[in-house]
Chains A and B, each alone.
Chain A
Amino acid sequence: MTAIELSAAVRSGERRAVDILDEHLARIEERDGEIHAFNLVTADLARSQAEAVDSAVAEGRDPGPLAGVPVAVKDNTCTRGIPTTCSSRILDGWLPPYNATVVDRLAAAGAVTIGKTNLDEFAMGSSTENSAFGPTRNPHDTSKVPGGSSGGSAAAVAAEFAPLAIGSDTGGSIRQPAALCGVVGAKPTYGVVSRYGLIAFASSLDQIGPFATTVADAAVLLESIGGHDPRDSTSIEAPAPSLLDVLERGVDGLRVGVLTELAGGPGGVEGISPDVIARTAQAVAALEAAGAEVSEVSVPSATLGLTAYYLIAPAEASSNLSRYDGVRYGLRVDASTTGEMNTASRSAGFGDEVKRRIMLGTYALSAGYYDAFYGKALKVRTLILRDFAVAYEKVDVLVTPTSPTTAFGFGDKTADPMSMYVNDVCTIPSNLSGHPAISVPFGVGDDGLPIGVQILGPAQSEPIIFSVAAVLEDVASKGGAR
């Protein structure tokens, strides 16, 4: 059952939230030992929430659009009194004294918070192999990674541990694992979902978004968590987008562009596998058949996104992660001076990838290097924004693959960081531009593993990209992606 169906059943009194919870807890019990989607299953909290939902229904009150629906929350999202680890040793023992805005909004919508999901440490990675608590496995093939950094959330939804999950996307961390796990994942426009309580990786790029098994479920989740939050200065002053109402409107007359540089076209990025390119082309053809006007659109600077991203994101991270110094919370390794204590705590608390990015970012911001690295990356970011603005004069949405390949094996890319970073090449431009994007499953690759197609649109075009994704979902469900 989808989240929408479950919620309807709970609200009508047909099903009890606690029973739904128990079914999901049973599946987690049965299989999460193998998958490791969760860092923590919050069964007690979930039960009290589910009971409250059932009481509300019994008393004739409407618990909200997510009534009784279990939701898994990425473990970089603060939950009051519940460990929030970022899958890092550095936050050892820390209990947030407050909830992230999205966590409060989930509760207000009647959702049941079932657990905290695994991630690459501080959301830095594309495979969830960088977790201090061990990797998450892809439910479709446990010898493969689930993608990352929100690998735990993607796997939780794919394994039916929860119909919905919350992730965060800084360079593709929702969309890429969604693609690799065969679920729907969306990165909203920057500022649509409050970042208050999301432990920052790269503040100007981070955005919280939904995972679901269907586009409609992702839509209802985004509707529930989105909308202005006065506690986040970068939050857009508008209510959450209305998505469900317009989900069925189709693509007739819609101008759809194939982003040539990210879809295997000439002069574009290399390394996108042929089966992924073929599925993307098939998706475009399906949209054309559904009435869309299709054209090829060039966004030349999109190929520069990866480089710019790997300067901007680490630069912000180097600053955001300074506060983990052993002084106030989390891990402290004692030493004879404050400075030595800081160093010892950070050396013991952070994993290699986090250290790599802190060093990279520190270097990029350093006097004498700022202009050549961080400063230049900001210019590329401006260029990308401008190029996308030009593209969106010609088309309403752009289509690309989500990930260059299907799920890869453990250890395949850990030895060479660059090979891992290239995974984000198709997803990064939307983070740099702040624009929304959604990944929707569209068939499988030569290896039988899921492939995701990505729909990009201009700022606040969620209603359009979700409706395009709904068309592709419909095509795929009818066997059109084989």
Chain B
Amino acid sequence: MTWSIEPTLPEGWELVVGLEVHVELATATKLFCGCANRFGSEPNTNICPVCLGLPGSLPVINGTAVKYAMLLGRALQCEVRPSVMARKNYFYPDMPKDYQTTQYDQPTNSDGELMLADGFTVGVERAHIEEDTGKSTHVGGGGRINDAVHSLVDYNRAGVPLVEIVSHPCLDTIEHAKAYVSGLRDILLAIGVSDARMEEGSMRVDANVSVRPVGSEELRTRCELKNINSIRSMGRAIEYEALRQIDLYSNGESPRQETRHWDEAAGRSTPGRSKEDADDYRYFQEPDLVPLVPSAAEVAAIDDAMPALPSARRSALRQLVPAVSVSVEVIATLVDRGQDELAIAAIGKGADPEKVVTRLQHDLAVDDFSKITAGAFADLIRMETSGELTATQAKQVLSEMVETGGEPRPIAESRGFEAMPTDDLAGLVDQLIADHPEEWSRFVGGDDGDRKKMQGFFTGQIMSSTKGQADGRAVADLLAQRSAG
């Protein structure tokens, strides 16, 4: 997760963003037929009469896709309701039936939310089931359908199950929009219903963007941004669009309601279809399918199967560590790395929470830490906290624990990491001061730069003479003590 600095809009303006996120479900087969749901096959090889919409063919809904959709709905705190499929009618060459089977006024999931790491809650209006279209490649004329010399259509994607997650227009910053998409992806991966790869199109984001004067509650004319293929790209597209709209308002003009096509390479969007002459989709209930009516038991089974979600994992860890010293970003990082369980368990065994987080954050940025048990990790942290091991030693022991999965005490002993009693260390420090009066006077009387430099000198000497067994912080404490005294 990137935590960049929010680009600022010109003073007096604020952003209003709603996101429509399409997610391909990772089912073995398509939504209405037995064809493989697979990315990257030879064009038009995963097709049959049903997903080609041949005359006379009929859809049969994929039960796994419905289950995945409901699982996603529950993960987004949605109400999972009896629902129906509907037809959205419009002509497009890569849509075999010239209608899309989707959901309209009775979606499977509605009224959910996603809480971001900083506590901002994004309202989810609905998360409905629908089929994907085929994929057109327009040859010539700049790759757009109207100017193309000819077009090629691959129907492998036609009928792939999607869930469209529609947020409320409540996202107020680009960072929140990014965090929301990132949070959705975390959830999708956590519950295993999609591989959520924006670059392969298994997760696609359309952004509805408008701006308004700060403090206003109005929703002004929005533009829908398409062709966004990464979270970073989305941030750039939203920023470009917000500034474009503010520019228009500042010149006494207004944006048109339209779809705009983001050009990542050029860093700008170009107008697409105007929504003023938008299609009337003539939605009506799909008569070839029967209503989806999940029983209370089915919904309960889905809740039972729900793994712990990233937001819940973050807040579980958050509650155990002091907020002042551990930031939300660090908590999020540990959850992303899947280290939260280890942290919580170690803290539960009495290890110091802050030290636990520090060691995980800085010294366990490895892919595989599966050999480390919570008990061994807690012991290590306790040894460090009690002064039995220095920070440097603790790091070395930890890296061996990653490799071997051993207990910290035998590892420390085998490396000769004996605890150095504080009295012995004080003696060494005093001797060192006596041996280096010039350096000591620079430490005591010099400016900040000198003092820092000399602290480095004394600590280095001690570390060298003790072969790293001294605790750097204890050395610093002793130096400070002697100079004050």
Q: Please list the residues of chain A having a beta carbon within 8 angstroms of any beta carbon in chain B.
A: 77-78, 84, 86, 91, 94, 96-98, 100, 195-200, 202-204, 230-234, 315-316, 318-319, 322-323, 325, 327-329, 337-339, 342, 362, 365-367, 370, 374
**Nearest chain A residue, comparing its CB with the CB of B147:** A337
Asked if B57 and A319 make an inter-chain contact with CB atoms under 8 angstroms apart, the answer reads no
Asked if A316 and B287 make an inter-chain contact with CB atoms under 8 angstroms apart, the answer reads yes
**Nearest chain A residue, comparing its CB with the CB of B60:** A233
For A323, give its contact among B55, B145, B288 (CB under 8 Å): B55
Q: How far is the CB of B31 from chain A (nearest CB, A)?
A: 12
Asked if B52 and A319 make an inter-chain contact with CB atoms under 8 angstroms apart, the answer reads no
Q: Interface readout for B74-102 with A: 1 if CB under 8 Å, 0 if not?
A: 00000000000001010101001111000
For B55, give its contact among A199, A367, A374 (CB under 8 Å): A199
List A contacts of B61 (CB < 8 A).
233
Q: How far is the CB of B198 from chain A (nearest CB, A)?
A: 28
For B54, give its contact among A96, A198, A362, A366 (CB under 8 Å): A96
Asked if B282 and A365 make an inter-chain contact with CB atoms under 8 angstroms apart, the answer reads yes
Asked if A319 and B99 make an inter-chain contact with CB atoms under 8 angstroms apart, the answer reads yes
List A contacts of B284 (CB < 8 A).
315-316, 319, 365, 370, 374
Asked if A322 and B91 make an inter-chain contact with CB atoms under 8 angstroms apart, the answer reads yes
B289 at the interface (CB under 8 A from A): yes
Q: Interface readout for B28-71 with A: 1 if CB under 8 Å, 0 if not?
A: 00000000000000000000010011111111110000000000
A338 vs B153: C-alpha distance when bound (angstroms):
13
Asked if A366 and B60 make an inter-chain contact with CB atoms under 8 angstroms apart, the answer reads no
For the complex, would chain A's binding face be called helix, strand, loop or mixed by DSSP majority? loop
**Nearest chain A residue, comparing its CB with the CB of B286:** A203
List B contacts of A197 (CB < 8 A).
56-57
B290 at the interface (CB under 8 A from A): yes
Asked if B55 and A325 make an inter-chain contact with CB atoms under 8 angstroms apart, the answer reads no
For the complex with contacts A84-B55, A322-B99, 7 further pairs of A-B residues with Cβ separation under 8 Å are A86-B55, A96-B56, A97-B49, A197-B56, A233-B288, A325-B98, A365-B283
List B contacts of A323 (CB < 8 A).
53, 55, 96-98
List A contacts of B282 (CB < 8 A).
318-319, 362, 365-367, 370
Asked if A196 and B56 make an inter-chain contact with CB atoms under 8 angstroms apart, the answer reads yes
B251 at the interface (CB under 8 A from A): no
**Nearest chain A residue, comparing its CB with the CB of B52:** A328
With A100-B56, A203-B287, A366-B282 given, is the CB distance from A342 to B87 under 8 Å? Answer: no
Q: How far is the CB of A249 from chain B (nearest CB, A)?
A: 33
A438 vs B91: C-alpha distance when bound (angstroms):
39
List B contacts of A91 (CB < 8 A).
55
B280 at the interface (CB under 8 A from A): yes
Interface centre among B56, B153, B290 (most CB of A within 10 A): B56
A48 vs B289: C-alpha distance when bound (angstroms):
37
A96 vs B58: C-alpha distance when bound (angstroms):
14
Between A and B, 17 residue pairs with Cβ closer than 8 Å are A91-B55, A94-B55, A98-B54, A100-B56, A199-B55, A234-B289, A316-B284, A319-B282, A327-B93, A327-B153, A328-B96, A337-B146, A339-B91, A362-B282, A365-B89, A365-B284, A367-B282
Asked if A338 and B58 make an inter-chain contact with CB atoms under 8 angstroms apart, the answer reads no
**Nearest chain A residue, comparing its CB with the CB of B278:** A367
Asked if B290 and A233 make an inter-chain contact with CB atoms under 8 angstroms apart, the answer reads yes
**Nearest chain B residue, comparing its CB with the CB of A368:** B280
Asked if B53 and A233 make an inter-chain contact with CB atoms under 8 angstroms apart, the answer reads no
Asked if A231 and B58 make an inter-chain contact with CB atoms under 8 angstroms apart, the answer reads yes
Q: How far is the CB of B138 from chain A (nearest CB, A)?
A: 10
Q: Interface readout for B460-484 with A: 1 if CB under 8 Å, 0 if not?
A: 0000000000000000000000000
With A78-B55, A204-B287, A327-B93 given, is the CB distance from A231 to B60 under 8 Å? Answer: yes
B358 at the interface (CB under 8 A from A): no
A137 vs B120: C-alpha distance when bound (angstroms):
73
Q: How far is the CB of B399 from chain A (nearest CB, A)?
A: 58
A207 vs B154: C-alpha distance when bound (angstroms):
33
Q: How far is the CB of B287 from chain A (nearest CB, A)?
A: 4
List B contacts of A367 (CB < 8 A).
280, 282
**Nearest chain B residue, comparing its CB with the CB of A78:** B56
List B contacts of A94 (CB < 8 A).
55
Q: How far is the CB of A21 from chain B (nearest CB, A)?
A: 26
Q: How far is the CB of B130 from chain A (nearest CB, A)?
A: 15
Q: Interface readout for B260-292 with A: 1 if CB under 8 Å, 0 if not?
A: 000000000000000000001011100111100
A94 vs B55: C-alpha distance when bound (angstroms):
10
List A contacts of B87 (CB < 8 A).
319
List B contacts of A315 (CB < 8 A).
284
Q: How far is the CB of B475 from chain A (nearest CB, A)?
A: 76
List A contacts of B96 (CB < 8 A).
323, 328
**Nearest chain A residue, comparing its CB with the CB of B282:** A365
Asked if B289 and A233 make an inter-chain contact with CB atoms under 8 angstroms apart, the answer reads yes
A200 vs B97: C-alpha distance when bound (angstroms):
12
List B contacts of A318 (CB < 8 A).
89, 282
List A contacts of B287 (CB < 8 A).
202-204, 234, 316
With A203-B288, A204-B287 given, is the CB distance from A96 to B55 under 8 Å? Answer: yes
List A contacts of B58 (CB < 8 A).
195-196, 231-233
Q: How far is the CB of A118 from chain B (nearest CB, A)?
A: 17
List A contacts of B280 (CB < 8 A).
366-367
Asked if B98 and A322 make an inter-chain contact with CB atoms under 8 angstroms apart, the answer reads yes
**Nearest chain B residue, comparing its CB with the CB of A316:** B287
For A198, give its contact among B56, B59, B145, B153 (CB under 8 Å): B56
B151 at the interface (CB under 8 A from A): yes
Q: Interface readout for B426-460 with A: 1 if CB under 8 Å, 0 if not?
A: 00000000000000000000000000000000000
List B contacts of A203 (CB < 8 A).
287-288
A362 vs B55: C-alpha distance when bound (angstroms):
20
A1 vs B404: C-alpha distance when bound (angstroms):
88
List B contacts of A365 (CB < 8 A).
89, 282-284
List A contacts of B289 (CB < 8 A).
233-234
A318 vs B281: C-alpha distance when bound (angstroms):
12
Q: How far is the CB of B156 from chain A (nearest CB, A)?
A: 15
Q: How far is the CB of A308 from chain B (nearest CB, A)?
A: 14
List B contacts of A200 (CB < 8 A).
55-56, 288
List B contacts of A362 (CB < 8 A).
282
List A contacts of B53 (CB < 8 A).
323
Return the 7 tightest CB-CB contacts between A and B, nearest first: A322-B98, A365-B282, A204-B287, A203-B287, A199-B55, A197-B56, A78-B56
A58 vs B145: C-alpha distance when bound (angstroms):
61
Interface residues of B in 285-309 (CB under 8 A from A): 287-290
List B contacts of A319 (CB < 8 A).
87, 89, 99, 282, 284
Interface centre among B53, B58, B91, B289 (most CB of A within 10 A): B58
Interface centre among B54, B151, B280, B289 (most CB of A within 10 A): B54
List B contacts of A84 (CB < 8 A).
55-56
Interface residues of B in 223-280 (CB under 8 A from A): 280
List A contacts of B153 (CB < 8 A).
327
Q: How far is the CB of B64 from chain A (nearest CB, A)?
A: 16
**Nearest chain B residue, comparing its CB with the CB of A229:** B58
List B contacts of A204 (CB < 8 A).
287
A204 vs B87: C-alpha distance when bound (angstroms):
13
Q: How far is the CB of A204 from chain B (nearest CB, A)?
A: 4
A458 vs B145: C-alpha distance when bound (angstroms):
52
A374 vs B280: C-alpha distance when bound (angstroms):
15
List B contacts of A234 (CB < 8 A).
287-290
Q: How far is the CB of B283 from chain A (nearest CB, A)?
A: 8
A315 vs B284: C-alpha distance when bound (angstroms):
9
A195 vs B58: C-alpha distance when bound (angstroms):
8
Asked if B60 and A230 make an inter-chain contact with CB atoms under 8 angstroms apart, the answer reads yes
List A contacts of B145 (CB < 8 A).
338
Asked if A98 and B49 make an inter-chain contact with CB atoms under 8 angstroms apart, the answer reads yes
A3 vs B287: C-alpha distance when bound (angstroms):
35
**Nearest chain A residue, comparing its CB with the CB of B61:** A233
List B contacts of A97 (CB < 8 A).
49, 54
A77 vs B89: C-alpha distance when bound (angstroms):
24
List B contacts of A231 (CB < 8 A).
58, 60
